[in-house]
A and B are shown apart, each in its own frame.
Chain A
Amino acid sequence: MTQQVSQESAKEVRRLDRVIIRFAGDSGDGMQLTGDRFTSETASFGNDLSTLPNFPAEIRAPAGTLPGVSSFQLHFADHDILTPGDAPNVLVAMNPAALKANVGDLPRGAEIIVNTDEFTKRAMAKVGYDTSPIEDGSLDGYRVHPVPLTTLTVEALKDFDLGRKEAGRSKNMFALGLLSWMYNRPVEGTERFLRSKFAKKPEIAEANVTAFRAGWNFGETTEDFAVSYEVAPASKAFPPGTYRNVSGNLALSYGLVAASQQADLPLFLGSYPITPASDILHELSKHKNFGVRTFQAEDEIAGIGAALGAAFGGSLAVTTTSGPGVALKSETIGLAVSLELPLLIVDIQRGGPSTGLPTKTEQADLLQAMYGRNGEAPVPIVAPATPGDCFDAALEATRIALTYRTPVFLLSDGYLANGSEPWRVPEIDELPDLRVQFTTSPNHVLEDGSEVFWPYKRDPETLARPWAVPGTPGLEHRIGGIEKQDGTGNISYDPANHEYMVRTRQAKVDGVTVPDLTVDDPDGEAKVLVIGWGSTYGPITAGVRRVRREGLHVAQAHLRHLNPFPANLGEVLRSYDRVIVPEMNLGQLATLLRARYLVDAQPHTQVNGMPFKAEQLAHVLKEAIEHG
């Protein structure tokens, strides 16, 4: 994996094809910021990358404790990669808790950079270290770099008018500088970022820049760091184009703005803050110059209620939330099903039930999205596969909502939301045309020859009903949650009509056009199919690659549409002897597949709040192939 390429400077530079780094510290240590900056440096350098932020739900958990540890893992490479990596090659541990919480994930031989200043007796005792792990031999087998990060930072900032505590806060930038040296990252972006972030406090900005440079220089001069590394840009991994780094929530927000532009409808977001969806509300609230209206509601129900009201008025309406919020919105989603108005429900899934694990990922809202309403209330479901794919998934969900006049679920999750990857910036003319026609004239002729508007007279092709917005003369009409007479939309309790309307609403959703499922089965010899949905795409694909490298055959398919399923799904499932369904729940997709297609789909499940590891899935697939 490594080869020596250069020794022109005093220090050796080794070339690596990929590296996994994990920054870990207290939740107040700025680890997420440090990780974000390293990611930006890496993105602009042109590596492929994938990130995994992992932090506690508490804003400031008790300092120095295991539950208070916040970490950020980054995998970057000179080729295309799919996951944030299973095991870090490098751990930066800012305190004993960070070491203790993360050392178990490291393979032997990994590098550990430890902030020795924090390894006081008291701090170590807090997490159960009787003796210092740096000195007692328990880290033998790792390459440990003990660095007094706090002391060095304070020393570097001695010319600033800052107390020790205040100066010490920049230690994350010192660490970032050191790692930036180790991996030959470009630094201009970070310096620019710091100066703009602290524009109102130039002294603090300069202190951080100074700490950052001191960290770099420390790496270059100190003997402890004899080697630095180079990971070449992943130029061959990417099709030509302009690239940037995006997180899932950012891509999803952009997807919504793009959908609004492509539909030529104003975007209206009704939302109530909830982790891990709030960033979409924050992002969209910045784009008022695109005509985006963001409404921070009094609760989840009002968030979707306001969105539904805006949809009635002709906006592209969206509500964003996570699992507990979906539960509260259920009745209104049912109303939207009954009113047959376009509405996007974005669910950034997190660990459940109830409050669950707010900052950790899970895919356990699939059945809630599918069935979680009273009555027969079918709702199409779209799920993005990667952070960048959240952009396209938002456009696709919008297409379905507008074409079929229906609420649509967009099921992302915490891993996609906060994780990031390089994303090819699309050209505007590549984006789909989502324009719709409001109905502006009567659509029905009565027996006496008079022309009227019937709000539930459907398009025979799509079964969509007309969208006639207030302000359209002559089309005044009333809609509601009570069962409606087919065509007129008037209240109807007629049994046959209800039967017809229930079946018609179902038929409309069943008839949503979705592309056929493509199967990746390179040589057609696979007997085992692995099928997933949503954010498991990366780990499953990485697992599949490992299995194939060993000469084994496995077919892979990934579902973007969970409702309706692609028309060829049954045929695909029946083409293989075994079907494995990895999911971050207790087997919800597998349940749907078994019920719908009578196939023995076998779930492989994990609900620990973290994404699957590629190695783990490779193992599962090998077992299935070898002991099929």
Chain B
Amino acid sequence: MADVLTGGSQEREHHPLTLVPKADAKQSAKDFKSDQEVRWCPGCGDYAVLAAVQGFMPELGLAKENVVFVSGIGCSSRFPYYMNTFGMHSIHGRAPAIATGLAAARRDLSVWVVTGDGDALSIGGNHLIHALRRNVNLKILLFNNRIYGLTKGQYSPTSEAGKLTKSSPMGSLDAPFNPVSLAIGAEASFVARTVDSDRKHLTEVLRAAADHPGTALVEIYQNCNIFNDGAFEALKDKQQAQEAVIRLEHGQPIRFGVPGEDGLGGKGVVRDPVTGDLKVVDVAEHGTDGILVHDAHSASPTQAFALSRLADPDTLHRTPVGVFRDVRRPVYETEMAEQLEQAVERYGKGELATLLAGNDTWTVL
């Protein structure tokens, strides 16, 4: 423990969890359940995410005392109370800042941030974008239900324009944020989107996020069955989903819709040679030439950003899910620890007496 607190490691980690101690024994989801009664509304999408996270954590095999969940304020921010790990339920919007300090000081921890669309994108927008650009080793789970739930139903920064809510009886006037676009614009090195009800997909995205060195933003479309029920129904209803959901997989052609003759989706995404924008074509008519192949590791964020703009913000048709972007760049706290080591190499380990005396003293006898 003392080593972890006082010094960096010589070893430059490649995997983000290299420095996190492993569990002695095999774990199960039960190990990650706290003794607290879960108090979300019955039917809330948060339950599914909690179950998926608790189900996924044993896969990492980390000592659970080295796992920390930090949240802000909002329905989803109660999450840490239900995880049998270290946790902090902080104040509105500030979780990324608090988690940044914790992660920067303690590289032996796996630090997760749980936040919502109001918490992360409204009151805490500044901390979110700066955490993303710094590339601190944080995994940020952004529960997006496109509504304020805990304050009982006002429009949020991801609500569609014109939304009728208690605070917008004639329709909201705000244009919404697209969290994936925002994150890519904020220099995020990892951005993904998934849906609360698709446990398999959610787990795959969590796995990719956990494997990523640096900040990972995972937007989770989450249903608020009280104040915004069915907001993501187009992506969940089996029939609609086939036309609405575009599953991004690295190295695979971007195809969706009712399968064509080759068994892949009948629709494909191509780049319009005139505008440079992405557009959807019928593969049967267009052929497979020019259908984009998803490259999450591309150094340029251009295609990931274009994909983030593909969905219709009102109907959610053509919504890509999966990992938009997953690139390597320096991790903040790794470099911070390296600077500490370099300082010791350059100047020697700090000697307090020498520091206090400085080099301009006089003596009184």
Contacts and interface: CB of A to CB of B under 8 A. Distances in A.
Contacts of A473: 63, 65
Interface string A89-120: 00000000000000000000000000000000
B343 A289 contact: yes
Interface in A250-287: 254, 257-258, 261, 265-266, 268, 270, 287
Contact of A478 (B80, B106, B363): B80
B6 interface: yes
Contacts of A45: 362
Q: How large is the interface on B (under 10, 10 to 19, 20 to 34, 35 or more residues)?
A: 35 or more
Interface stretch (A292-300, A361-369, A514-522, A538-546): A292-300
B42 to A, nearest CB: 19
A529 interface: no
A428 B353 CA distance: 6
A260 B309 CA distance: 49
A295 B100 contact: yes
Contact of A302 (B86, B126, B355): B126
Interface in B331-346: 336, 339-340, 342-344, 346
B5 A309 contact: no
Given A266-B105, A270-B101, A480-B88, A44 B360 contact: yes
A490 interface: yes
A289 B126 contact: no
A44 B127 contact: no
B101 A298 contact: no
Contact of B88 (A339, A428, A472, A475): A339
Interface residues of A, number: 73
B364 interface: yes
Contacts of B5: 265-266, 313-315
Nearest to B341: A288
A98 B364 CA distance: 37
A289 B102 contact: no
Nearest to A304: B97
A472 B65 contact: yes
B340 A293 contact: yes
A306 B360 contact: no
Given A428-B352, A481-B89, A305 B101 contact: yes
Given A471-B65, A471-B66, A242 B126 contact: no
Contact of A40 (B67, B83, B360): B360
B91 interface: yes
A313 B352 contact: no
A309 B113 CA distance: 12
A293 B337 CA distance: 8
B255 interface: no
A306 B350 contact: no
Given A302-B100, A306-B100, A306-B104, A257 B350 contact: yes
Contact of A480 (B89, B355, B356, B363): B89
A302 B94 contact: yes
Contacts of A314: 5, 105-106
B180 to A, nearest CB: 21
Contacts of B66: 470-471
B80 A306 contact: no
Contacts of B365: 235, 240
Interface string B51-93: 0000000000001111110100000000011011111111100
A167 to B, nearest CB: 29
Contacts of B342: 288
B130 interface: yes
B34 interface: yes
Most buried by A among B36, B70, B100: B100
B281 interface: no
Given A244-B358, A295-B104, A470-B109, A312 B348 contact: no
Contacts of B104: 268, 293, 295, 306, 310
A432 interface: no
B357 A478 contact: no
A468 to B, nearest CB: 9
A241 B363 contact: yes
Contact of B1 (A239, A312, A315, A471): A471
Q: Which of A261, A305, A480 has the most CB of B within 10 A?
A: A305
Given A315-B5, A331-B91, A478-B88, A243 B364 contact: yes
A235 B363 CA distance: 9
Contact of B89 (A292, A331, A470, A482): A482
Contacts of A411: none
Contacts of B363: 241-243
B105 A478 contact: no
B151 interface: no
B97 A44 contact: no
Given A241-B364, A289-B350, A291-B6, A475 B65 contact: yes
Contacts of B275: none
Nearest to B95: A305
A199 to B, nearest CB: 15
Residue of B66, B88, B348 with most chain A CB atoms under a 10 A cut-off: B88
A302 B131 CA distance: 10
Interface of B: 1, 4-7, 21, 34, 36, 63-68, 70, 80-81, 83-91, 94, 97-106, 108-109, 126-127, 130, 336, 339-340, 342-344, 346-350, 352-353, 355-358, 360-365
Given A289-B346, A289-B348, A315-B5, 12 more contacts: A40-B360, A243-B361, A288-B340, A289-B350, A295-B104, A312-B88, A312-B98, A471-B21, A476-B65, A478-B80, A478-B86, A480-B90
17 contacts: A270-B101, A289-B346, A289-B348, A289-B349, A292-B340, A293-B105, A305-B127, A313-B5, A313-B106, A314-B105, A332-B94, A334-B91, A426-B356, A470-B68, A470-B109, A471-B66, A480-B90
Interface of A: 40, 43-46, 189, 235, 238-245, 254, 257-258, 261, 265-266, 268, 270, 287-293, 295, 297-299, 301-302, 305-310, 312-315, 317, 331-332, 334-335, 339, 425-428, 438, 469-482, 490-491
Which 8 interchain pairs have the tightest Cβ spacing? Answer: A480-B89, A306-B101, A305-B97, A309-B101, A290-B350, A288-B343, A309-B102, A302-B97
